[in-house]
Structures are given as structure tokens and as C-alpha cells.
Amino acid sequence: MARINANYGKLPGSYLFSEVGRRVREYKAAHPEAEVISLGIGDVTLPIAPAVIGALHRAVDEMGSAESFHGYAPDLGYPFLREKIAEKDYMERGCGISPDEIFVSDGAKCDCGNIQEIFGTDNTIAVLDPVYPVYVDSNVMAGRTGDYDREKDRYDGVIYLPCTKENGFVPELPEEVPDLIYLCFPNNPTGSVMTKAELQRWVDYANSHGSVILFDAAYEAYISEPGVPHSIYECEGAENCAIEFRSFSKTAGFTGLRLGFTVIPKELKAGGEALWPLWARRHGTKYNGAPYIVQRAGEAVYSPEGQLQVKEQAAYYMENAGIILEGLRQAGYEASGGVNAPYIWLRTPGNMTSWEFFDRLLAEANVVGTPGSGFGPGGEHYFRLTAFGTRENTIKAVKRITAI
Ligand code: PLP
């Protein structure tokens, strides 16, 4: 008799953004006249940059001729893209990452969710609290956690690293040593960052305890301040303890095109075993690679025009972030983030729960945000707004929020 993976039963309710979507649909059905603005799910609104569109068109034409057609992509991705990534994202920042340590994929969400497969189910995990929910949920599905404790809103066996106002949303090193440590900086949802010195402490900690850091740098393109590392490999010794995830989604507006990559240095080991061959085996077995045309589009992001255009887009979103942050602060909200990340993290007024504030904002301002509690128990009484809206909607949304 077939049986399900009972670990799925430990997951409470639906995925955070599915629940947000459900409530918005319900509200719109009841109020068809409402003009609802979404600063909730972190999806981009600007169209793809012209340099990237040009590369896509050329690649599509290549697919239409026998001489230049491309079938299955190489397991790790096309060398033309991996070479560009190694040069621009790593070598130019002084990080010794080579093209064959880069695994091209269709995005960071899948890689962050799938990477745990190459680690035994007996590994303990540590996650920031609050944080992007995929890290915990994918480990729950794999049976690496205990049961969900409804009262504490926590999974047994998971080491939560509190990110609070008091510690500037940057966690302390844990006393109980985890085997796998998920770090996400610039952080979703708080928008906080670690300085290079702070991240170096985590790298040293992982190296001295034999832990592996899973570093999600999906928002590195939004870093504006000096002294904030764009890659964990800027820290000394990180190639011995860290895997890094990157995404083109927020860097170049590829949420609909789909492209990302994972870096696994050849020297990285867990329990004396190299991790690179395991991920290569997994990639080759279960994954067909990002489409040729999308990898060509990714290559164009690194061209001089591409770089100019995507930087302009990031600047546009960060101006939105500034508008939200200023507007909220002037209205008396306690708000942070929005300087090195496209997220603004605000304390709910009057000690409302995150979902109470969500419902109130939807009903009274017709603005959608994301309840902080959806990112972990430490997110309760907080709320996330994204800077990825259009300028017009961002200004309108801030006016409406501050009016209630
Ligand atoms: N990592 C973080 C921290 C994110 O916030 C997101 C998307 O919101 C992702 C990864 C997913 O990126 P991708 O679109 O490349 O799957």
C-alpha cells in the first residue's frame, strides 16, 4: 500500500504567499470596486532590460536554425554564463571562485529548497528568525525537524536565531552548535545586513565546529553601503564552510524568466566528504538546466549596457524603499530596512498581530503587505512592505497607510 510522506502533515496551513493571495482574492470578490495595491509578495514590476531582451531575441532566432540550435544544456550550465559569473561576481570582488564551482539553475528558491538533499537527515539546522520560509519548510518535508509546536509557533529540533530590534536584526552566534546554518543577507524580510567583520565571525565559527553555512545572497544587488559583503567568499576561509545561492530574479527582473545559480567550492567538505560531487550528481540526475535562451539572457546582464540598465532598475526600487521608509517614519511608525535591501520592516501599531494588521490594511487602505509572523515566530507584531511596486503605486500606498 502506498503511503504519503507524513512529514508534510507537520506543515501548518498553506505556504505564506498562498495564504496572502487567498485573503486578497476573498477581499476583492467581496469588494470588486476596491483598487488594491500590492506591496506584499516580492515580485518585480519593471520590464526586462533592453539589453537582455535583445539577447533573448537573438537566442530565440538561433533555436530556429539547424546550425545554431541548442538541445539539452550542459549539467552545470553553459560555460559562457558560468565564466561571466565567475569573473564579474567573484574574481572582480577578489573571491577565488572558478566557473566549474558554479551550478546554473532556474532560481534560488529551488536550490535553497533542494540543497538539503545532499546532507543526512540527522543534521541539525539553524535558521534566522524571522526569515524566508523555504529553508525551514524544505527541511520539515525532508524529516529533518520534529513536530510543529503550535503554541510556540516553532518546530522541535530547529535552532532559531532571533533577529530582533535589540540586536539590529543580526543574530548572535548560537550556543548549541548546528550542523547546517542558513544565513540570508541582505535579509528577507527585515532588510538587515551583516558587515564583513560580522560575517567573518560566522565563517570562523562554522570552520571551527565543522558546520556548513548555506548563504542566500539573493538581494546582494541592493547593497548600497560600503563594508557589507556581496558574497560570503569575501570572508577568509568561507570556501571551506559555505555554499552560496544567487538569483537573477531581483537582480535583473527574472522572476518570470527564471535563472539563478549555486556556488559550491571544490574544497568544501562535510564530515570529510566533498560536497561538490554530490550536488553535481544531484543536478545531473534530477535537473535539466535553465533554457539556453534564458542563459543567454543572463549573460547579457553582465554586458556593459546590461549592467547599466539593471543598476538603474535597482536604483528605482531603492528610491521606492526610501519613500516608504520616510513616509512611515514621519507617520510615527517604527520601521527599518530599505537601505541595503528592497524590504521595509515595520512594527505593527498598537501591538496588533501581524495578521490583524494585514486584514486592517487591506480593508482600510486597500494595501497588501506580508505579515511578519509568516516568516517565523520572531516576526510576530511586524509587517513587511516591498519596494518592488511602481512609483505611482508606492506613493499612493504610503499615503493610504499613513492616513489610517
Ligand atoms: N531567496 C530569498 C531570500 C528570496 O526572498 C527569494 C524570493 O523571494 C528567493 C531566494 C527566490 O529566488 P528565485 O526567484 O531565484 O527562486
Instruction: Give the 3-state DSSP-derived string for 222-280, with helices as H, strands as E and coil as C.
Output: HCCCCCCCCCHHHCCCHHHCEEEEEECHHHHCCCCCCCEEEECCCCCEECCEECHHHHH
**Which residue has a Cα nearest atom 11 of ligand 1?**
109
3-class SS of residue 346 = strand
- Spell out a b/e string for 385-403, using b for 16 or more CB atoms within 10 Å of the CB, else e: bbbbbeeebbebbbebbee
CB atoms within 10 A of CB 383: 28
107 lines ligand 1 (CB under 6 A): yes
CB atoms within 10 A of CB 302: 18
253 lines ligand 1 (CB under 6 A): no
Nearest-atom number in ligand 1 for the CA of 131 is 3
Nearest-atom number in ligand 1 for the CA of 260 is 15
- What is the distance in A from the centroid of ligand 1 to the CA of 134? 9
DSSP of 380-401: TTEEEEES-S-HHHHHHHHHHH
- What is the distance in A from the centroid of ligand 1 to the CA of 245? 9
3-class SS of residue 298 = helix
218 lines ligand 1 (CB under 6 A): yes
pLDDT at residue 16, rounded to an integer: 81
pLDDT at residue 391, rounded to an integer: 97
3-class SS of residue 150 = coil
108 lines ligand 1 (CB under 6 A): yes
215 lines ligand 1 (CB under 6 A): no
Report which of 190, 220, 221 is spatially closest to residue 384, judged by C-alpha positions.
190
Residue 254 · residue 47 · CB < 8 Å: no
259 lines ligand 1 (CB under 6 A): no
252 lines ligand 1 (CB under 6 A): no
260 lines ligand 1 (CB under 6 A): yes
User: What are the phi and psi torsion angles at 250 (to 5°)?
Assistant: -95, -20
Report how far residue 396's alpha carbon sits from residue 376's, in angstroms, rounded to the nearest whole number.
29
pLDDT at residue 238, rounded to an integer: 98
185 lines ligand 1 (CB under 6 A): no
188 lines ligand 1 (CB under 6 A): yes
> β-strand 382-386 against 343-347: which pairing, if any?
antiparallel
Nearest-atom number in ligand 1 for the CA of 254 is 14
Rounded to two decimals, the pTM is 0.96
- What is the distance in A from the centroid of ligand 1 to the CA of 108? 5
Report how far residue 338's alpha carbon sits from residue 341's, in angstroms, rounded to the nearest whole number.
5
**Which residue has a Cα nearest atom 5 of ligand 1?**
188
187 lines ligand 1 (CB under 6 A): no
Mean pLDDT by runs of 10 across the 404 residues of the chain is 96 81 94 94 92 98 97 96 98 96 98 98 97 95 94 94 97 97 98 98 98 98 97 98 98 97 98 97 94 98 98 98 97 97 97 96 96 95 97 97 92
- What is the distance in A from the centroid of ligand 1 to the CA of 219? 8
The continuous run of DSSP H or E covering 38 comes out as: strand 37-38
